[in-house]
Structure 1
Amino acid sequence: MLPERRGDLLILTATLLASAGWLFSKEAISALPPAGFVGWRFVLAALILLPFCYRQLRATSFANLLKTAGIGLVMTLNLIFWIQAVMHSDGIGEGAFIMSLAMLMVPPLAWLLFRERPGRQFWLALPIAVTGLFLLTSGNGLSLSLGQLLFLLASVSLALYFSLNSRFARRVDPMALTFVQLAVTGIMHLGYSALFERWPEQVAPDIWGWFAASVLLATSLRFFCQSAGQKFSNVANAALIMMLEPIWTVLISVFWYHEPMPVQKIMGCVLILLALLSFRSRALYEWYRNRRAMKVRRET
C-alpha cells in the first residue's frame, strides 16, 4: 500500500474512533461522575503513550514543557464544557456538528489575539455556517437548550486551543505534546472530581467496559492513528477526512439513541459541512494544483 493511502486510512480510522468516543463517553457518564471519568480517561491514556514518547520528553526543554502544559489548561476548559454538554444532551449528533464549527471560529480568534485578518474564504463561509447553525438548533425557537449552549462554548474553547496550539506545536514532538496535554487535562479533572464529585459505591461491569473503550480506543489508539496518519497523508486529504467525524457521530446517535433528524436539522448539518468545505476550498485547490504540477513534471 502506498504511504499516502496508508496515511489516509489511519486518519479515517481516527475519525471513526473519535466518533465512537462520543458514544463511549455518554454511556460511561450515565453511572460515573463526568469530571472523574474524563480525568481517569486522560491520565490512563497519557500513561499508555508515555513509553512511546519518553525520549522525546527528555529532549524537550523545561520552558517548552511549561508552555505545552499551559495549552493543556485550555484543553481542560474545552473538555469541561464538552463532557457537561454530552451529559445534558439527549443525542450526540447535533453536538458533533456544533463542535465542528470550531474550525471556523479560529480565524476571528486569531484576529483578536494575534491581529491576523481572516481571509476571503472565512467571510464566504460565515453566513452559510450561521444559517446552518440556526437550522440545526432552532427546534426550541430562538433560544438554545443547555446542551446546545454548552456545545457552543466547547466549540469556542476548542477554537482557542487550535489557535494557540498551531503556533506552538512545531516546537515540540507531536507525541510528547499529546502526552503532556492529556496528562494536564486528566490531572486537572481528577482534582476537580476529588473536591466536588462523589463516586458511586458500585459500578456495573458494562460501565467499566465503556470506560475501557474510551481510554484504549477513543483516546490512546485514536491519537496514535491521527499522529501516524498525519506523517503520511497530505494536509488536504487529512482535512477532508476529518470532516467526516460529525457525520459518523450523527449516524451513531440515530442508530443508538434514535436521535430525531427532521429535514430542518439535516439541512443545518449540510450547510455546516458546505461552510467547512468552502472555508477549506483554497487550501484544497492549492493542493490539487501542486499535485497536478508535480505529476506533469514527472511525466516530462
Structure 2
Amino acid sequence: MPGGGNKSLQLKADLALLGVTFIWGITFVVVQNALDSIGPYYFLGVRFLLAFLFLGAIYYRQLLKLDRTTLQAGLIIGMFLFGGYAFQTVGLQYTTAANAGFITGLSVVLVPVFSTFFTRQLPGVFAAGGVILSTTGLAFLSLGQGLRINRGDLLVFFCAICFALHIIMVGRYARHLNPPLLATIQIGAVSLAAFAMGLSMETWPGQFTRPVWIALLLTAIPATSLAFLIQNSVQRFTSATHTAIIFTMEPVFAALGAYLLAGEILTARQLTGCLLILGGMLLAELKGEPAQTEIQRTRRAEAGGH
C-alpha cells in the first residue's frame, strides 16, 4: 500500500518536526533562567561552540575540503545569525519568554518585506496582510503606558529583523553551496563573535550552575545540532504547508513553556497581540509565497532553532 506508507512517513515527519518546534519553544524560558548566572554572550559562545563541535564531528570529512567561497559565505551569514541570537538573548533579560517567542516569530512576516529590496517586487496581498496583522499584534503585546515599548521587546524585535535578513541571505547562498557545511561554518562564526563580545563586556562565571548546564545541553545539541539533522532527514517526507503550520507553533510552545515553567500569565491585551501575531505568521507562511519559499529553503540549510 504505497499510499498508506506515504501517509505514515508524513505523519512521522510531522511529529518529528513538531518535536523540534517544541524544543525551540521551551528554550526561551530555559535560557532566561540561565542568564541569572552567566552573561548572554558567554552563554551563546559556549552554546554554539558545543553545537559546532557536534556537527564538526559528523561533517569533519567535508570540513577538510572547505573552500574559500563557502568559508566567506558562512562567516558573512553567521554575523546575521549572531545578531539574531545576541539581540534575542540580551532581550530575554528585560522581557518575558512568551513575548520573546512571539516577537521572534515576526521574522516570518519580515522576510517578504525585506525581499522587496532584492527582488524589486512588492509583497503579495496575503504577505502584506500578515505584516499588518503582526504589527498590530506587536503593538498590543509590547506597548505599555504612554505608548512606550518595553526595552526587551525592542531588542527582540531587532532579533527578528536579523533572523529575517539571515533567512534571505541563506536563501541566496545555500542553493549554490553545501548546506551542512555552510550551516556548520555559521555556527562556528556565532561562537567566535559571541566569545569576542563576552571577553570585552562580561565576566566569565566562576562556575556553571544547574540552570546554565540545563540550558546549554538543551540548546546546543537538541535545539541546534539535532534539530538541523532531523529537519534535513524528515522534511522531504512532508509538505511545505504542513511544515509552515508546524513552525508557527514555536511561539505557542514558548508561551506554554513560560506558563508551566515560569508562571508567566498573559493579560487579555497581550493575548490579543499574540493571536494577531500568530495570525499574521500563518497568513504570511501559508499564503505569502515569497516568505514561504525563502523560509522552507532556509530551514533546510540553517542549523535550526531559536
Aligned equivalents of 1:162, 1:206: Cα separation in 2? 30
Aligned equivalents of 2:88, 2:159: Cα separation in 1? 5
- Aligned match of 2:14: 8
- After TM superposition, the structure 1 = structure 2 runs for residues 155-174 of structure 1, keeping only pairs within 5 Å, are 155-174=160-179
**Structure 1, unpaired ranges of 5+:** 288-300
Q: Deviations over 1:187-206 (max 9, x none)?
A: 11112212221113234344
For the pair shown, the structure with the greater C-alpha radius of gyration is 1
**Structure 2, unpaired ranges of 5+:** 293-306
Q: Look up the SS of the partner of 2:147 in the other structure.
A: coil
- Aligned match of 1:290: none
Q: Look up the SS of the partner of 1:199 in the other structure.
A: coil
- Aligned match of 1:54: 60
- Aligned match of 2:272: 267
Q: Deviations over 1:11-70 (max 9, x none)?
A: 111101111221221122210111011011001111101122233434553212211221
- Aligned match of 1:24: 30
- After TM superposition, the structure 1 = structure 2 runs for residues 1-300 of structure 1, keeping only pairs within 5 Å, are 2-59=8-65, 61-89=67-95, 91-282=96-287
- AA aligned opposite 1:96: G
Q: Deviations over 1:139-185 (max 9, x none)?
A: 34411111011011111111111111112122233322221111100
Distance 1:59 1:240, change over 3 A: farther
Which range moves more in the overlay, 236-245 or 263-272? 263-272
8 Å Cα contact 1:24/1:211 also seen in 2 = no
Distance 1:96 1:191, change over 3 A: same
Which range moves more in the overlay, 206-215 or 99-108? 206-215
- AA aligned opposite 2:22: L
Count of residues in Structure 1 that have an aligned counterpart in Structure 2: 284
- Aligned match of 1:296: none
Which range moves more in the overlay, 111-120 or 175-184? 111-120
Q: CA deviation at 1:210?
A: 3.0
Identical columns (%) = 26
Q: Deviations over 1:232-291 (max 9, x none)?
A: 22211111101000000001111222222111111111111111222233369xx9xxxx
Q: Look up the SS of the partner of 2:192 in the other structure.
A: helix
Q: Look up the SS of the partner of 1:261 in the other structure.
A: coil
Aligned equivalents of 2:214, 2:279: Cα separation in 1? 37
TM-score, normalising length from structure 2? Answer: 0.86
Q: Deviations over 1:63-101 (max 9, x none)?
A: 122112211111111111111111222x21111111111
8 Å Cα contact 1:10/1:228 also seen in 2 = no
- AA aligned opposite 1:220: S
- AA aligned opposite 1:34: P
- AA aligned opposite 2:162: S
Q: Deviations over 1:90-138 (max 9, x none)?
A: x211111111111111112111244232122122222222221111113
Aligned equivalents of 1:10, 1:65: Cα separation in 2? 31
Q: Look up the SS of the partner of 1:96 in the other structure.
A: helix
8 Å Cα contact 1:8/1:238 also seen in 2 = yes
Q: Look up the SS of the partner of 1:198 in the other structure.
A: coil
8 Å Cα contact 2:141/2:274 also seen in 1 = yes
Aligned equivalents of 1:213, 1:279: Cα separation in 2? 29
